[in-house]
Each structure stands twice: as structure tokens, then as C-alpha cells.
Structure 1
Amino acid sequence: MKALFLTFQHILSCDGISKKIVAQSKALKYNGMDVELARFDRDESGRLIYKIGDRTVETYGKGIAAKIKKRCRFGKLAKYISDNDIRFVYVRYVHFANPFFVDLFRRLRKNGTVIFLELPTYPYDSEYKNLSLRSLVPVYTERLCRRSLAQYADRIVTFSSHDRIWNRPTVRISNGVDMDEIPVRCAPPKNPAALNLLGVAGLMFWHGFDRMIEGLREYYRTPQPVRVVFSIVGGKPDSEVLRELKDRTQRYGLQEFVVFHGEMSGSALDDLFDRNDVAIGCLGCHRKNIVHAKALKNIEYAARGVPFIYSESNEDFDSKEYIMKIPANESSVDIASVIAFSRNMNLSPEKIRASVDRLTWNEQMSKVVTELNQII
């Protein structure tokens, strides 16, 4: 079956979400779909374009005009889907609902295209805090239009436990990984005098890395026999969260114990994992009123074979001996407990990785294809 993985974002080599999208698209192909990936890009002259595979479908131009056109001009996209007899469209939803997207979905359904709409996070309204007046317009437009958009979706794909969202039936999956792209780490020998912690994230307020810094502040109030260092990877240079974490670190005099590496990928990131003992997952999902979550980073940590810490409820990992759960509140992380957890954790990286064999994108996207086959 001809299919289209429809995204409305750029695909970047250092971006975790981009890697996820590419892996999902690859997994649909593994499960028998003739699939192409659609995304934003830039041409040689810097103009914003929309590409499907290697083909440019739409050219938006530059500046403010391009930003407006990319949210309302979909005629050529709809024509491409119709002309190429694409029967299935899998859409990654990043809160873009507006009347023009609703019209696009309506046209696709009218032509008999099956639409699955993936919600990476649900619910998500609490992600929007302290909005500027400029940001309020698209946010409230999305809230007004999302149910109208959803009525044209045959299924909503969710990583939550909801059976229905916006009055549409769901397909419940977990996040996954492409095992071919993630190496098993070489665990460092345990050092009774040192513990190295690593957090990799795009750095949003719900990642909660400030709780780790607060824990280190408490820990280093008195001389300690174990040197604990927290390495943070990720965050755009202009990120408000990154700036706040750096300010907090400097204010507490923890520059020696909190290290900011910026964005990393490839062998440099692999080497960093090899030098660290415990990884840090999301510590602040409660800040956006999320209780149950299946964070991608947890699976990526497990695939690398590293024990890790998080605070949400996650049925894929809650019972595993290589995870440490902390309270889903604003308390600082108890560093002494982290040290004890690391000292008592003796599973090899290979055994940790083996525990997530079913959490591959090939396996998870097979659930999507199975559901699709029941519809067509």
C-alpha cells in the first residue's frame, strides 16, 4: 500500500524527534508499507520548501510570508496525495490545527484516504505557560479547531492509556527505538569515590533537571566522600530553560559538578554514555499534569544498557530493577539515594538492552499496520 508519513517540521540530524520520525517511517516500510516521508526543508537559496522524498512539492519563499503560507497552503500537497494514489496518511501532530488544516483533512477523507493522527503527548495544554500575546493566537486557534480536525481522522495514535481522544478511537502504542542506530554502551568500572550522571534532553521545563541541581546543592552543603557530577546534553543556545539551569548552577557554585555539553550526537554522545553510570529521564512530567507517560528517552537509555531515573508512571519500566523512581513533585533529588541505587545495580548493559526487545519501532508500528488492515 502506498503511504505518506506526513510531518510539518524540519528533519535535523542532531534532533531526537527527527530521529524518531525517520525510525517510524522506516518501521512502516519494514511492515509492508510503500511509504514516503514529507517534511519542511530549505532549498539552495534558503527558501522554505515542502518535500516528499526527494521531490519539492511546494515552495513558500522566505520571511514572514513563508511562515504564513506554510500554515495555510496545502493544495499541491493534496494533489500529490491524490495523483499518486496514496491510500494511507500517517500524521505526526504538533498542535497545528487551524481551518486550513481541517480543510486539507476533509479533502483527503473525501478522496478515500485513511488518516491516522499521532499525538506525541496527551494531554498537552499544560505545556503552554506564560505565553506572549503573539503566541496566544495559534494556541487558541488550535484549541478551537482540533476536534474538527480529529473528526476526519480514522484513528488517533497515542502513547497514553486513553481508549478515545476527541471522540475518536485510539491505537495505543509505546515509544520505540531503532536498535540498529543505538549501540550498547561499554559501562565504566565502578568507582566508589565517584558517580557520573547524564541527562540528554531538548530541555523543556517538564524535563525537571533543576531538581537534580537542587539535589546537588543539598548534597554538597557538607564535604562528601563521593564526587557526583551531572552532565547535561541538549538545549538550543537561546533556550530559556538552559539559561535558567546555567544561572542556577552558577548561583549555587556548582560549576565543577554540573557540566553543560550542548547538543551532541554520534560517536561523541556514545563516548559520553560510556563514561557515565546513571542516566536521568524526565523528572517533571507532573508540571504539565501528566501522570502516565512512555517517554522515548527511557527506551533509548535502556537500549544503550544504562540504568536510569524518572518520576512519572510508565508501565513499560516501573517494575524493572534497573530503574529508580523518584516522587512526582518539586522535591530535590536525594543524591545519597542515587549513589545507593547505582552501587546496588549490577545488571550488565546487554541484559538491560535485552529487556526492551519488544520496544522497537518495527514492533510498535506493526500495531498501526494491523489496525489499518482492519479498516481498509
Structure 2
Amino acid sequence: MPSEINVGLVGYKFMGKAHSNAYMTVDKFFDCTARPVMKAVCGRDQSAVSEFAERWGWQGYETSWEKLVARDDIDLVDIGTPGSTHAEIAIAAAKAGKHVFCEKPLAMNMAECRAMIDAVRSAGVKNMVNFNYRRVPAVALAKQMIDNDAIGEIRHARFTYLQDWLVDPMFPMNWRMRKESAGSGAHGDLGAHAIDLAHYLVGDLASVVGQKKTFITERPAEGTSSGLTATAGEGTEEVTVDDSSMWLAKFESGAFGSFEATRLAPGRKNFNRFEINGSKGTLVWCFEDMNWLEFYTTEDTESARGFRRILATESSHPYVGNWWPPGHILGYEHGFVHAVYDLLEDIAHDRPCVPDFRDGAKCVAVLEAVDKSIETNAWANVERVN
């Protein structure tokens, strides 16, 4: 059982910061069987990545992911780069005998997903996809309540992920708006999170029918960009991904689902919300109020029925006992810390990671099925992933 796990991170911008913070923090609050050692971070810009390494506590840096993956002193490769790079890096890391932690969506298409799954299975390495919202205590509590039959048989599930950072047509281009680097727009970027929450809380999706649209088809060319901020360069560029997607679904259980993702909803900053209706109750959660879970049950007396708000900050709630006293709320970064903790423990104890590459592929299968339904103007079945 290792006492240390040497980490190499590929990518140093938005996700690079979130992942770095998790590695810096996790063994300060959690009793880790194996602590992470932040060996090296990788980026193409030597000046920028070296500055990042010093600022965020990495021992060194590389400007070639191939060199990072080949290093003998790296046990775990963490991939926080655009989706178009995931498959190549993950497959190389697996072949080099490294465990792999990858951002979502897992890959650009199902062919890449299958190749990634084959690579990690052949190598026998641990693999996890960073669907960080599973690790929010209120969401993990919802999972426990569903498993304990608190709302009965699930009949309806609604998943909505709304942002507004692209409402301004003068917001410049970046990689998230190019099909060749991102694969899709709001559909894959935001919808992937909604799909994974649906899989986690409700179950597998069987068939879908949907629509997507690009409302702003041209934007100022990219100058510089980082995360969800950017400055314009010269000229304009065509947007080649969707701004919004909306679709219906049938779960294998028989439940109905609806999904919406957009980056053009004024006033919605990170409105990642679900409402799940069962035969005897309802659960509601929204990331913009992430510490609260709403619960309604028909088992209350008629005169006392109504939604109750559960503040998921007690030590009895998932993960929370390692943080602050009750009522001292958690934030966005904590989901990443929880994911890293679970990943390190899974590696240390040689147990399966959840969600793994198969779960990531199941998400991509749904994204592709929605695209197929749009092409055929009909319901499409979701590919099963073995």
C-alpha cells in the first residue's frame, strides 16, 4: 500500500487551478492513506507553466505531455486539457502504467471512449472521470435518500444547467466554442454534468430526442483567454458548436426525463439544478445554493406537508465531517478535494474508482444519441457500454 502517490498534471488554467488546489488541500483535512506529491505540471507555454508551478506548489514542470507521461517518478496522470486531447494523453499514460484522472466529457466520441477503456483495462490502471458534482455533500445526501427509498419509485427527473457568460455577442472566441477542440458547446460542456447526475441519481438512460441551436454564429477572434474570461484579437471567427441544447429522455427504469443546457441565460451564473419526483416525495438541488437540499414527502401529516430545506453541513453528511462545524458552508472547490481524496484512496487500497472511464463513456453515448436524434428527427436509442 503506497504512502505517497506522485502526480503529474496536464493543463494549468481553469481546471489546473481547481485540481492543484485539491492536491494541495486534501491531506490537510482528510486522513489520506497515501498523500499526493505534486511532482510536475505540464503546459506548452514555458514561462506561464513555470510561473504556475511555483505559485501552486508543483515541484517542477514540463512543456511536453509526452515527457511528463514517460517520467518514472509519476504514478498518476491528471488530464485537465480540452476534450480533443483526452484520448491521446490517457491512452499513452495507461500504456506507461500510470493511473489516469480525466476531466469531462471523457472524449470527443464513442470510438475514442472505447479506445481509452481498452487501454486502462489492458494496463490494469485505475481510472476516474472528474464529475465533481457527485461529491457535493447535498448531492451525495440525495443519493443516499434515493437509495433508502425516501421518495419512492422515481417517475420524473428534470436536469437544468444554465449559464450566461456568452450572452454578449462581443465575447471573444476560445477553445470551448470550436468543435475541433471541444466537441460540442453547452451540450457537452454543461450537459455532460447533467447526464452524469442523472446516471448517478436515477439510472441509465435508454432513449432520447432533442434539439440544439447556435444563436450567435460569429464572434470576435480570440486574443487571450483563461477559464471563462477572454480578450479579443483581430477579426472574427465562426462559432462551430451549439449555444443551447434541450432534450427529452426515457430512463431504463421507465422514468421520464428532461434536460436543458445553455450558456445564454441572462442572470444564471452556474444554475446546475435537478428536481426528482418519486411516488412519495421530491428532491430538489441547485448548485447556486449548493449546501441545501430540498425534500418533500407525502409521509408527513397533511397539515404539515411542504418542502423542507436540509442544510447539508452536519458531520453526518457525506464528506462534511472533515471540514468545518455545522453551518459553515462549503464551496465549489470542495467537490474537487473530495474527488481527489476518493481517487487516492481507491489507488492506495486497490479498489475500483467511481465514476470510471466506463461511466464517462456512458455519458458520451447519451450526448451522441441526442445528436443522432437531431439528425434523424426521431427518438434515438442510447448505445450500451460494456
TM-score, scaled relative to structure 2: 0.37
Larger strand proportion, structure 1 or 2? 2
Q: Higher relative contact order by CA 8 Å / sep ≥ 6: 1 or 2?
A: 2
